Amino acid sequence: MTSDFYRTFEDKHRGTRDLITSRLRIYLPFVEPLLAYYPKGNAIDLGCGRGEWLELALAAGFDAIGIDLDVGMLAQCHARQLPVRQADALEVLRTLPADSHALISAFHVAEHLSFVQLELLVNESLRVLQPGGLLILESPNSENLMVGTSSFYLDPTHNRPVHPQLLSFLMEYAGFARSQVLRLNEDPGLLSKRAIRLYDVLAGASPDFAVIAQKSAPTEILATFDREFNAQHGLPIHRLANHYDELLDRRLERLDSRAQIQLKALSAEIDGLRGHVVYLESLLNQSHGTTRTQRVLTHVRSLAGRILRRSMPMLRTAVVRVPWAKHAALAVLRSSPRLANFIGRFLPPGQAPVPSTLSAPQHFEDLRSVRIMRAVSALPSSAQSVTFLEIGDHAK
């Protein structure tokens, strides 16, 4: 790997210097109270990279230094006159005196280490920190499914994802007084959206996390940090998934309500059709001539066609959205071949093979009745997969 490769890679895939600096400001409320107990407290940033956090720590008042092996990264720090050394971070940590530093940080370093090295980093940090001192470790968040299964492996130097709960447990097991998981850098407006997509659930949980651990100290020192350690940060995937389910349930309830309204309207249309049929039957009973009978039959077909065309969208929507309506429609069509044949007149021309699961009655006048039954059978019966389908399209 060339000296400039990783610096260029970070510029493109992690974010600009200004973006990373703005994100790192979230840690300042945690670390600034340390300066009340350790003015100009010593701080060391392991794997300092381009020096964004190092610059913030110096501006806050810490006597900070950065450690990194990458020459390309250190070149940017030198250009800003930041105090850095080219060295192995763990080796430097081992050489530091006990109780000598107020703050130790390592941003996006843990995922590059083996678990043995990570355990060594945590144990040595506990030794080096002063009472009440803080250790900050930030890493990609594998709880975000797109990070854990895809983008994490974009970096050729990554070893394996570190789970937030594992890292928190490791710090407490090592002997830190307490630790806090911060989930970071999610879209802050995601939970306020009126509709979110499945992709939002897969990729919307906090893409990064940090664990901040504090070394034991007198109660009055620890109490200074209680507010920050008790605050909740970020968007865990279970909260995002629950929000997605709630929005989906509301949408389905609205669709069911509309379907019920449309079914009631359809029932009213059918009742009106019955009245027309009774009226037309009375006309037929009164007719005596072939010409008049033909005129009445033409009138019947025209009236039924108009009613059917007007009712078809409502009927189609009801059949698509309500499972029992689909089964009822199939039952009616199977029991009344003439009705199926009549409805088939309103489908586009062309014939389609009969599905193996649907046998055609031998007394059907033509295949139009088979086509309409096939169209209804093809409609989805699950209310969770609502799609506005054209019956004619399925019958082709």
Question: Which domains can be identified in the chain, with CATH numbers?
Answer: 5-235 (3.40.50.150), 247-395 (no CATH)
pLDDT at 137 over 80: yes
What's the rounded mean pLDDT across residues 270-299?
66
**Whole-angstrom Cα distance, residue 240 to residue 48?**
32
pTM for the model stands at: 0.69
Other Cβ atoms closer than 10 A to 65:
19
Among 105, 94, 11, which Cα is nearest to 53's?
105
72-127 pLDDT, tens digit per residue, is 889 999 999 999 999 999 999 999 999 999 999 999 999 999 999 999 999 999 99
pLDDT at 144 over 70: yes
307 falls in which pLDDT band (50, 70, 90)?
low
Instruction: Note the pLDDT of residue 38.
Output: 97
pLDDT at 336 over 70: no
260 falls in which pLDDT band (50, 70, 90)?
confident
- Positive/negative CA dihedral, 213, 219, 220, 226: positive
Residue 37 in tokens: 């107990």
* Whole-number percent of the chain with pLDDT over 70: 69
- Could you tell me which residue, 323 or 206, shows the higher pLDDT? 206
Task: List the single range of 89-103, 239-253, 294-308, 360-374 with lowest mean pLDDT.
Answer: 360-374
pLDDT at 210 over 50: yes
Instruction: Note the pLDDT of residue 235.
Output: 93
**Whole-angstrom Cα distance, residue 141 to residue 183?**
8
- Could you tell me which residue, 280 or 43, shows the higher pLDDT? 43
371 burial via Cβ count (<10 Å: 0-12, 13-18, 19+): buried
Residue 305 amino acid letter: G
Other Cβ atoms closer than 10 A to 388:
9
158 falls in which pLDDT band (50, 70, 90)?
very high
φ, ψ at 257 (rounded to 5°)? -65, -45
* Letter string b/e over residues 108-125, b meaning 16 or more CB atoms within 10 A of that residue's CB: bbbbbbeeeebeebbbbb
Mean pLDDT (the chain) is 81
**Whole-angstrom Cα distance, residue 100 to residue 130?**
6
250 falls in which pLDDT band (50, 70, 90)?
confident
Task: List the single range of 177-191, 210-224, 302-316 with lowest mean pLDDT.
Answer: 302-316
45 forms bridges with which residues in the sheet?
A: 66, 105
Interhelix angle 115-128/164-174, rounded to 10 degrees, is: 50
The residue assigned the tokens 């939970």 is 191
**Whole-angstrom Cα distance, residue 243 to residue 233?**
17
Residue 337 in tokens: 């071949």
**Whole-angstrom Cα distance, residue 240 to residue 199?**
11
